[in-house]
């Protein structure tokens, strides 16, 4: 699958969905949703992919969509410009350090996978329960591909609400030295240490 919607015409730097699939490992509706969200965010910021920390992205779930967002935006945990808030929401905020602009993109409550293909959720439940036949498993794969294709063909505005936001950007990622946990002896990033009974220990040891 190598498709870009018309929305990408104003930004030729946006990577093709095939690169998301290479990174994620397979095609799915979740990665297609992340692709559309990141596409909207980059275009609305008039930005390019973040080579360093030019863009900061805040994601509010840990779904397949986040892999697409990493590929398109260049925001990653390793660079410190991908922030994960575990809220379970299909919400993505894209911030530009150069312009100070922010775009918050949230899934519309009117968007439902079942409206695209009602059979998808039925087949998923049957396959996950172990009750599906070989032909039903094959059909599920076809449905997943088909729904992902349809999402990619949709305008982002059909799927998401996009709004400008003003928020303080966190400082750029810091590099911390590692020190030994005084209980298990393993090296730990200094800012993650806990003090328990007068000694500095790692988080797992602090819970024992």
- Residues 150-177: tens digit of each pLDDT: 999 999 999 999 999 998 888 888 888 9
CATH topology of domain 6-165: 60s Ribosomal Protein L30; Chain: A; (3.30.1330)
Residues of the chain with CATH 3.30.1330.130: 6-165
**Neighbour count for residue 186 (Cβ, 10 Å):** 11
Q: What is the pTM of this model?
A: 0.84
Residues of the chain with CATH 3.30.60.20: 175-208
Q: Give per-residue burial for 17-47: e unless 16+ CB within 10 Å, then b.
A: beebbeebeebbbbbbbbbbbbbbbbbbbeb
- In terms of Cα–Cα distance, which of 35, 45, 49 is closest to 104? 45
**pLDDT band at 12; cut points 50, 70, 90:** low
CATH topology of domain 175-208: Wheat Germ Agglutinin (Isolectin 2); domain 1 (3.30.60)
Q: Is the pLDDT of residue 4 over 80?
A: no
**8-state DSSP, 92:** E
What crossing angle do the helices spanning 17-24 and 29-45 adopt, rounded to 10°?
A: 130
């Amino acid at each position: 699958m190598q498709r870009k919607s018309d929305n990408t015409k104003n930004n030729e730097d946006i990577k093709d969905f095939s690169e998301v699939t290479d990174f994620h490992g397979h095609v799915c509706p979740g990665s297609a949703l992340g692709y559309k969200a990141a596409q909207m965010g980059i275009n609305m910021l008039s930005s390019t992919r973040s080579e360093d920390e030019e863009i900061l992205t805040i994601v509010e779930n840990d779904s397949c969509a986040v892999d697409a967002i990493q590929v398109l935006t260049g925001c990653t945990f390793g660079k410190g410009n991908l922030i994960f808030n575990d809220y379970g929401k299909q919400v993505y905020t894209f911030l530009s350090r150069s312009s100070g602009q922010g775009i918050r993109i949230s899934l519309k409550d009117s968007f439902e996978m079942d409206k695209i293909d009602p059979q998808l959720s039925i087949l998923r439940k049957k396959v996950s329960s172990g009750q599906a036949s070989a032909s039903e498993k094959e059909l599920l794969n076809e449905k997943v591909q088909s729904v992902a294709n349809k999402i990619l063909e949709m305008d982002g505005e059909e799927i998401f609400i996009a709004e400008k936001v003003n928020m303080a950007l966190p400082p750029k990622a810091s590099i911390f030295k590692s020190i030994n946990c005084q209980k298990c002896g393993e090296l730990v990033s200094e800012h993650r240490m806990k003090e328990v009974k007068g000694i500095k220990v790692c988080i797992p040891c602090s819970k024992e």
